[in-house]
Homo-oligomer: A and B are copies of this chain.
Amino acid sequence: MTNPKPDLWFSFVRSHRALIREIERRLAEAGLPAYGWYDALWGVESGKNGTRRMHELADALVIERYNLTRLVDRLEQEGLVTRARSPEDGRAAYVTITEAGRSLRKRMWKIYETAVNELFLPQFDIKAQREVSEALDQAALAARQSSQSVQ
């Protein structure tokens, strides 16, 4: 029995589900849209001039392109972002956040941040926060590299 026990992994997936579920619950309770919208809005807003290319955004959010297309469709319909094609590269599509988008993101952040600060972060001291964060980034990198090495 020298094998590593994957307890940590199962704690990881279970806690992720429990936390996301609770965050979604709080957002819904406050009449705000689902959690995924926050990520997308922030991904756009944090780009240069509040703009990002689609594939760059999909990559940052770790979601599939076709799902991003339709997520952005929905955001656009609500007037939270605008979409434009690039004159230089006819394939490229740019997404830009609107004022309404910024405002909604801020309102969502209040709820979201509170939940994270209350439920998640206190379980780690400052040193652990940095270390675990780095370990998780490494794991994400390993996962991406593994998938690319096949493709």
Interface residues of A (CB under 8 A from B): 4-9, 11-22, 25, 29, 39, 62-63, 113, 115-121, 123-124, 128-140, 142-144, 146-147, 150
Contacts and interface: CB of A to CB of B under 8 A. Distances in A.
A117 B4 contact: yes
A100 B9 CA distance: 26
Copies in the complex: 2
Prevailing SS type, chain A contact patch = helix
A22 B146 contact: yes
Given A7-B133, A128-B135, A136-B123, A16 B13 contact: yes
25 contacts: A4-B129, A6-B113, A6-B116, A7-B133, A8-B121, A8-B129, A8-B132, A8-B136, A9-B116, A11-B137, A14-B62, A14-B136, A15-B139, A15-B140, A19-B139, A19-B140, A19-B143, A22-B144, A25-B147, A25-B150, A118-B142, A119-B143, A123-B135, A123-B139, A128-B131
Nearest to A137: B11
Nearest to A148: B22
